[in-house]
Structures are given as structure tokens and as C-alpha cells.
Amino acid sequence: MPALTRVLGAATAAYSVTIIAAPKVLAKPCGLTSATGEVAGDVRTLIGGIGARDAAIGLAMMFAPAGRALQLALAARVASDTADALVFGTGLPDRSARKKVAVFAAGWAALCAASALLP
């Protein structure tokens, strides 16, 4: 499990820091930008919270010792991505964005879950 799980943790942490610094990276595919491409303050706050959550989980996937701690970090990643797929997949205002974002989040959850089965 550790090798791929650690790489996925690093990718998660890097993406999370990116969306904290540039919320548009997540807001745009979700259809949450204005007609001019701006991100509203409340959306920026929500994305910052998601980014902070995911950065913490990604770092845990990178640095947790092998065994139970790493399994729990990975479980948190899979649970968060599954929840994101459900929430964004049913709640985004743009119907086409719902499917795209839900498929991406569910795919990431599946990839992370699969990493538990690999050496």
C-alpha cells in the first residue's frame, strides 16, 4: 500500500494548496464562478475549507507510519472524496458540472481505495 498511497497523498496535498491559493481552479469546473470568471467570497471560503481538509489528509497519507495510521488517513481520503461526489453530484447548480465533478471525485476515491491493495 504505501508507495502509491504516498504519491496520491502528495498529489492531494499539492492540489489542495493550489485551490486554497487559487479557488478558481476548483470553482470553475464546478460552475461556481460568475459570468466574468470571478469567485464570490462565500465560494472562496468554502473552497478554502475543502482545501485545508484535503491538505491535512494528503499530508497524513504522505507521512503517517505504515499500518493503522496510514490506513486511517487513506480511509479519510476515500470517505471525503465519496462525500464530495455525493454532495457536489447532487447539489451543484450547473447540471453538467454535477456529473463531471462527481465522476472525478468518485474516481479519485476509487483510485485511493485501490492503492490500499497494492504494494
The model's pLDDT over 29-69, given as tens digits with 9 standing for 90+, comes to: 999 999 999 999 999 999 999 999 999 999 999 999 999 99
pLDDT of 118 strictly over 90:
no
Say which residue the cell 496510514 belongs to. 70
DSSP 32-93: -B-TTS-B-HHHHHHHHHHHHHHHHHHHHHHHSPTTHHHHHHHHHHHHHHHHHHHHHHHH-S
> Angle at CA 58, nearest 5°, toward 112 and 69?
80
The model's pLDDT over 75-86, given as tens digits with 9 standing for 90+, comes to: 999 999 999 999
- pLDDT for residue 1: 61
pLDDT of 119 strictly over 80:
no
What is the C-alpha to C-alpha distance for residues 51 and 18, in angstroms, rounded to an integer?
8
The model's pLDDT over 92-113, given as tens digits with 9 standing for 90+, comes to: 999 999 999 999 999 999 999 9
> Angle at CA 103, nearest 5°, toward 98 and 109?
125
